[in-house]
Amino acid sequence: MLGYALRRIVGLIGVWFVAIVLTFVAVQFVPGDPIVAMLSDQSGDRALEARLRAEYGLDRPLWVQFVDYLRNIANGSFGLSFRYAQTPVSEVIAGGLLITPLLALVSISIAVMLGVLLGVFAAVRQNSWADTAVILVLVTGISIPNFAMAAFLVYVFAIQLGWLPVAGWGRLDQMLLPVAILVIPPTAYIARLTRTYMLEVLSRDYIRTARAKGLRQRLVIYRHALRNTLVPLLTTVGIIFGGLLSGTFVVETIFNIPGLGRMAIESIFARDYPVTMTIVLLFTVFYSLINLIVDLAYAALDPRIRLGQERGT
Amino acid sequence: MRPGGAASDFGLRFRRNRNAVIGAAIVTLVLLTALIGPFFVPHDPNRVNMLAVWRPPDSTFWLGADALGRDVFSRIVVGARVSLTVAMSVLAITLAVGTTLGMIAAWYGGWVDALIMRTVDIIFAFPELILAILIAAILGPGLTTVIIALSLVWWPGIARLTRALVLSLKEEMFIDAAIASGTPVAKIMWRHFLPNIAAPLIVRASIGVGFIIMAEATLSFLGIGVQEPQPTWGAMIRDGLTQLRTDPHLALWASAALGITMIGFNLLGDGLRDILDPRLQER
């Protein structure tokens, strides 16, 4: 187990390094000169241009710039923003640093609990009208993109009924709609998987044995069947989390939430590439950490994984 | 087995699968709309009409007009074509690249395999939509950018699936026989591997269409996808959201078009998976 964990952590550091190299290379391909863009109306001022170029380190050879980039990541400043002159990226994004991870973690927790409950509910009532109704809701929940869902929900709950605010952040009632929109697609996905795995487990011999020895239905479902459903479900949580992180870009933009997702989109339009790349890096680190935790949990539960057999995709 | 047995068996199982039938009906409707709809739209989708700004739905503008007085119905119909153009292009590119690289990796093994699969691993290390946003940000918005960005994030899945399928096929007798009789590698791949891995690839592709349409709409919604004046559902929803209180028709109808299309492709994908390959895991 320890060996497996070590191998995974070394792999993780490799992924981070590749992500750092990729974001650095990406900025080199961006069209236009950021310093010229910053100067705008003072573009004739050669002295100022040279001073800015030196300040941002853009007058130095590429490999020195890369070492600077690494150093800035290591000391946590992430370099200087293009949009807010002389301001470190860390200061620009500080306000959103807690909002987005919190939003994502709260949403995934709700989605897992709600999804498993719905899935079990549908599975034990296989082929009944309740099952069909749940499946219909699930397909809709998985299919409709979050911003289209937002249009409907905002229209009904904020505009027609007037129960909830249209946008904003800070108060509890302002969080309800964004969280709901982030939660619905992963909930539907998890519920559908739970239903499928549950039906498979319920057809196994040990379930028949449990029933034959007279265990009550609830005990069979929650003690015997659910446990064996949760293990394969765990492997998909990482992927679902990736979708949820991308969802924060959209939801934060719609509801005017000052998180990292909205900042990333704004920085793309402002051509503030240091900010864009820092946020992409942070999302990648966050995503890979969640995946590491999921994989370690899975390995702890299933010895075949840590003994070196690859998990099927 | 009698001639055509496999085909009619497929037809029978297809007709019995409720999801597949409903999905196929919706997908056919969307495909027809995209193919011939633009020839029959009541208005030029890009014609600006300052007298019709935010006009609510009526007998001339069936679904109302947008901020520039353009007909929403016509733009939704033409938007279907933009959506499907992206989806089909990405699908064609990723299937070609993904299956080729997947087969090469599985066939040659060694450092070729390692090189291809490590590249795949790196792309998988990023959340797919965030990687697409990053690529779109670098290349600048536009239809081509969207196709490139989504192709780059979608091919690794196809390659990994192809590799896994070919690795297990490689052990089969008929492949040994083909090698022994001196069949060229390209021919083995084309004639022996491809037909045998087609079913799971079709399932994967049909599920992929939904993802690609959603990803294109998301990029366009965020403003880094397909650009004006080309109508796209994502951008229409964005424009409509700001006006939801007074003129909800734009956002709601564009959302409905996107939602119904997604439901159609997902139902069809689910149905095809049940029919063609019941054991295939969801991803």
Report the share of chain A in percent with pLDDT over 70.
96
Residue A306: per-residue pLDDT? 63
Q: How large is the average pLDDT for residues B262-268?
A: 89
Spatial separation of the C-alpha atoms in residues A93 and A279, rounded to whole Å: 8
Spatial separation of the C-alpha atoms in residues A196 and A253, rounded to whole Å: 34
Residue B88: per-residue pLDDT? 93
Mean pLDDT in chain B? 85
Q: Which residue has the tokens 């129960």?
A: A163
Alpha helix ranges (H) inside chain B:
5-16, 18-40, 72-108, 110-124, 128-139, 143-169, 173-180, 185-187, 194-222, 233-241, 249-276
| C-alpha separations of B282 from B5, B31, B253, B274, B275 in Å | 28, 25, 31, 11, 14
Spatial separation of the C-alpha atoms in residues B219 and B232, rounded to whole Å: 10
Q: Do A249 and B130 touch (CB under 8 A)?
A: yes
Distance from CA of A202 to the nearest CA of B (A): 17
Distance from CA of B217 to the nearest CA of A (A): 8
> Is B135 a residue whose pLDDT tops 70?
yes
Q: Which residue has the tokens 């939509």?
A: B129
Q: Do B138 and A236 touch (CB under 8 A)?
A: no
Residue A308: per-residue pLDDT? 55
DSSP conformation letters of B109-139: -HHHHHHHHHHHHHHHTS-HHHHHHHHHHHH
> Which residue type occupies B174?
F
Q: Answer yes or no: are the C-beta atoms of A150 and A254 closer than 8 Å.
A: yes
Instruction: Give yes or no for B263 touching A (CB within 8 A).
Output: yes
Domain with CATH 1.10.3720.10 in chain A: 99-258
Q: Which helix (H) or strand (E) holds A128?
A: none
pLDDT in tens, A130-187: 777 888 888 888 888 888 888 888 888 888 887 888 777 777 778 888 999 999 999 9
Residue B85: per-residue pLDDT? 92
pLDDT in tens, B40-58: 888 888 888 888 778 888 8
Residue B99: per-residue pLDDT? 93
> Which residue type occupies B134?
L
Q: Answer yes or no: are the C-beta atoms of B250 and B243 closer than 8 Å.
A: yes
| C-alpha separations of A1 from A7, A13, A306 in Å | 10, 19, 6
Give the chain A residue whose CA is nearest to the CA of B248. Answer: A155
Q: How large is the average pLDDT for residues A196-216?
A: 80
Q: For A5-19, A45-59, A296-310, B159-173, which range has the lowest pLDDT when averaged over its residues?
A: A296-310
Alpha helix ranges (H) inside chain A:
2-29, 34-39, 46-55, 62-74, 89-93, 99-124, 129-143, 146-153, 172-202, 205-212, 217-219, 226-255, 260-269, 273-301, 303-306
CB atoms within 10 A of CB A202: 19
Mean pLDDT in chain A? 83
Judge if the upstream peptide bond of residue B229 is cis by omega within 30 degrees of 0: yes
Residue A126: per-residue pLDDT? 76
Spatial separation of the C-alpha atoms in residues A255 and A249, rounded to whole Å: 10
pLDDT in tens, A66-80: 888 888 888 888 888
Q: Do B125 and A152 touch (CB under 8 A)?
A: no
pLDDT band at A310 (very low <50, low <70, confident <90, very high): very low
Q: Answer yes or no: are the C-beta atoms of B203 and B277 closer than 8 Å.
A: yes
Instruction: Give yes or no for A14 touching B (CB within 8 A).
Output: no
- When the candidates are 1.10.260.30, 2.40.50.140, 1.10.3720.10, 3.40.50.300, the CATH number that belongs to A99-258 is 1.10.3720.10
Collect all residues of chain B within an 8 Å Cβ-Cβ radius of residue A181: none
Tokens standing for A196? 């499928």
Instruction: Give yes or no for A193 touching B (CB within 8 A).
Output: yes
Is this structure's pTM higher than 0.95? no
DSSP conformation letters of A62-91: HHHHHHHHHHHHHTT---B-SSSTT-BHHH
Spatial separation of the C-alpha atoms in residues A187 and A200, rounded to whole Å: 20
Spatial separation of the C-alpha atoms in residues A66 and A58, rounded to whole Å: 10
- Spatial neighbors of A107 by CB under 8 A, at least 6 apart, are A179, A182, A183, A186, A244
Instruction: Give yes or no for A264 touching B (CB within 8 A).
Output: yes
Cα B63–B66–B72 angle (5° rounding)?
Answer: 35
Distance from CA of B245 to the nearest CA of A (A): 6
Q: For A124-128, B74-78, B85-89, B174-178, which range has the lowest pLDDT when averaged over its residues?
A: A124-128
Collect all residues of chain B within an 8 Å Cβ-Cβ radius of residue A155: 244, 248, 251-252
Instruction: Give yes or no for A239 touching B (CB within 8 A).
Output: yes
Q: Do B218 and A147 touch (CB under 8 A)?
A: yes
CB atoms within 10 A of CB B42: 12
Q: Do A139 and B224 touch (CB under 8 A)?
A: no
* Complex prediction ipTM: 0.82
Q: For B102-116, B164-178, B225-239, which range has the lowest pLDDT when averaged over its residues?
A: B164-178
> Is B35 a residue whose pLDDT tops 50?
yes
Distance from CA of A281 to the nearest CA of B (A): 9
> Is B282 a residue whose pLDDT tops 50?
no
Distance from CA of B150 to the nearest CA of A (A): 14
- Of the candidates B148, B158, B147, B271, the one whose C-alpha atom is nearest the C-alpha of residue B213 is B147
A-interface mutation test, from B222, B246, B265, B277, most A Cβ less than 10 A away? B222
What residue ranges define each of the domains in chain B, with the CATH number in brackets?
12-281 (1.10.3720.10)
Please state whether A76 falls in left (phi above 0), alpha (psi between -120 and 50) or beta.
left
- Phi, psi values for residue B65, rounded to 5°: -130, 165
Instruction: Give yes or no for B123 touching A (CB within 8 A).
Output: no
pLDDT band at B100 (very low <50, low <70, confident <90, very high): very high
Q: Answer yes or no: are the C-beta atoms of B264 and B26 closer than 8 Å.
A: yes
Instruction: Give yes or no for B248 touching A (CB within 8 A).
Output: yes
Q: Do B129 and A29 touch (CB under 8 A)?
A: no
> Is B138 a residue whose pLDDT tops 80?
yes
- Phi, psi values for residue A88, rounded to 5°: -65, 145
pLDDT in tens, A101-115: 888 999 999 999 999
Q: Exposed, middle or buried by CB within 10 Å (0-12, 13-18, 19+), for A71?
A: exposed
pLDDT band at B1 (very low <50, low <70, confident <90, very high): very low
Partner B, chain A 162-181, Cβ-Cβ below 8 Å: 166
CB atoms within 10 A of CB B39: 7
pLDDT band at B159 (very low <50, low <70, confident <90, very high): very high
- Of the candidates B172, B210, B191, B206, the one whose C-alpha atom is nearest the C-alpha of residue B275 is B206
Distance from CA of B283 to the nearest CA of A (A): 8
Q: Do A145 and B258 touch (CB under 8 A)?
A: yes
The alpha carbon dihedral of B210, B212, B215, B217 has a sign of negative
Distance from CA of B22 to the nearest CA of A (A): 12
Q: Answer yes or no: are the C-beta atoms of A288 and B125 closer than 8 Å.
A: yes
